[in-house]
């Protein structure tokens, strides 16, 4: 059992905000344009007129994670965009942490392309934290302010920026960005529910569908030493990966294979993978030990006695009724046999 640290509970907030750099109302937006109306960035970003977006190809300026070269990928509605940092990139300013080692895999964040406005600007959806998130503890553990966002990606080939740059986390902060498509059979099943998916996305935007951390950390964690993964579908919110997975699963019945990472594999990443062994929790976010200074994640899981635990398996809404367990991660989805 880990030693109960001094009064550092606020550090939890900082720690889990790093994972995102890795209750809904019943309201509806008024004055949303009709499907055949001319739609601009204002209608999309402010009135959430996502159902008015044109379903047309987007020529996406991707950056190859292996070579660093820029190339153009042709994206269709619901194609997935993955972004990440180079392992040699300096730690993020202000937090002193390298997410390339802290989050398993090459890619640490994901979003989905959903269409273009009348001027030809492309849009994606993503779960993210607010610009200056507040943190709080309740009976369910640590909560972090965040929601579903609609993100203007720019024009084809990256030739023109969006008319209004109103997004505080832009793709330009990442070293890599690459897209994947669902396998044809899965894509066909998904598109059979296109209207329901777009309507759900719009309602989630209107309702400020909430961000949920992928790990449960409560005050009891300091006593029990147990950190449990969270994957409860669309019930209580989601992070960037679980939002898209649960949207596809529960609205369209489409499941992606091998998209989650078990607690055992996450532990092995920090203890055995050369990059994971370098993962450091900066001193300012260390609420887990009495020792001052930075702490290796591997030390937290060994010397300090903390353990990772999978969520309780839950039955999916997919045709095969599979049981879902583990933490959804961008890199797992990127390497899933369900995408190419």
What tens-digit pLDDT sequence spans the chain (340 residues)?
Answer: 444 444 444 444 444 444 444 433 333 333 444 445 689 999 999 999 999 999 999 999 999 999 999 999 999 999 999 999 887 776 655 455 677 888 899 999 999 999 999 999 999 999 988 777 676 767 677 777 899 999 999 999 999 999 887 766 678 889 999 999 999 999 999 999 999 999 999 999 999 999 998 888 777 887 899 988 988 899 899 999 999 999 999 999 999 999 999 999 999 999 999 999 999 887 777 777 888 888 899 999 999 999 999 998 988 888 788 899 999 999 999 999 999 9
- DSSP per residue over 112-178, as a string? EEEEE-TTS-EEEEEEEE-SS--EEEETTEEEE-EEEEEEEEESGGG-S--SS---SS-GGG-SEEE
What are 264-313's pLDDT values in tens digits?
A: 999 999 999 999 999 988 777 777 788 888 889 999 999 999 999 999 89
Q: Fill in the DSSP letter of residue 278.
A: G
Q: What is the pLDDT of residue 184?
A: 98
**Which positions ≥6 away from 169 have C-beta within 8 Å?**
21, 128
Surface-to-core class of residue 78, CB atoms within 10 Å of its CB (0-12 exposed, 13-18 middle, 19+ buried): buried
Q: What is the pLDDT of residue 18?
A: 43
Which of 273, 270, 260 shows the shortest CA–CA distance to 324?
Answer: 260
Which of 141, 176, 150 shows the shortest CA–CA distance to 63?
Answer: 176
Which of 21, 142, 19 shows the shortest CA–CA distance to 83?
Answer: 21
Surface-to-core class of residue 23, CB atoms within 10 Å of its CB (0-12 exposed, 13-18 middle, 19+ buried): exposed
Q: Are strands 109-116 and 215-216 parallel, antiparallel or unpaired?
A: unpaired
Q: What is the pLDDT of residue 29?
A: 37
Structure tokens of 95? 């937090």
Number of Cβ atoms within 10 Å of the Cβ of 178: 20
Q: Fill in the DSSP letter of residue 196.
A: H
Q: What is the pLDDT of residue 23?
A: 34
Q: What is the pLDDT of residue 215?
A: 83
**What percent of the residues of the chain are helix, what percent strand, and what percent coil, each to the nearest 5?**
25, 25, 50
**Coil, strand or helix at 37:** coil
């Amino acid at each position: 059992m880990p030693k109960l640290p001094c009064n550092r509970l606020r550090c939890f907030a900082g720690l889990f905000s790093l994972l995102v750099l890795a209750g809904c109302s019943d309201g509806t937006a008024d004055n949303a344009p009709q499907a055949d109306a001319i739609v601009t960035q204002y209608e999309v970003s402010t009135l959430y007129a996502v159902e008015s977006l044109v379903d047309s190809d987007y020529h996406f300026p991707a950056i190859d994670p292996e070579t660093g070269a820029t190339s153009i990928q042709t994206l269709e509605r619901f194609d997935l965009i993955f972004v990440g940092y180079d392992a040699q990139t300096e730690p993020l300013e202000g937090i002193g942490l390298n997410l390339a080692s802290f989050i398993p895999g090459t890619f640490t964040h994901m979003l989905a392309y959903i269409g273009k406005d009348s001027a030809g600007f492309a849009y994606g959806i993503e779960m993210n934290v607010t610009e200056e998130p507040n943190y709080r503890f309740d009976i369910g553990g640590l909560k972090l302010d965040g929601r579903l966002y609609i993100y203007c990606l720019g024009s084809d080939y990256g030739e023109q920026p969006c008319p209004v740059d109103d997004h505080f986390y832009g793709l330009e902060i990442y070293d890599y960005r690459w897209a994947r498509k669902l396998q044809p059979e899965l894509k066909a099943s998904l598109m059979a529910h296109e209207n329901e998916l777009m309507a759900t996305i719009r309602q989630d935007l209107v309702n400020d569908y909430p961000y949920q951390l992928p790990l449960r950390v409560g005050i009891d964690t300091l006593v029990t030493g147990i950190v449990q993964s969270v994957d409860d579908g669309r019930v209580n919110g989601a992070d960037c990966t679980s939002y898209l997975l649960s949207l596809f699963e529960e609205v369209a019945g489409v499941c992606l294979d091998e998209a989650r990472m078990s607690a055992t594999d996450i532990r092995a990443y920090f203890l055995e993978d050369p990059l994971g062994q370098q993962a450091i929790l900066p001193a300012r976010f260390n609420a887990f030990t009495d020792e001052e200074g930075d702490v290796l994640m591997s030390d937290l899981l060994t010397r300090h006695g903390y353990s990772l635990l999978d969520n309780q398996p839950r039955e999916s809404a997919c045709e095969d009724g599979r049981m879902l367990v583990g933490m959804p991660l961008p890199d797992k989805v990127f390497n899933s046999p369900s995408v190419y």
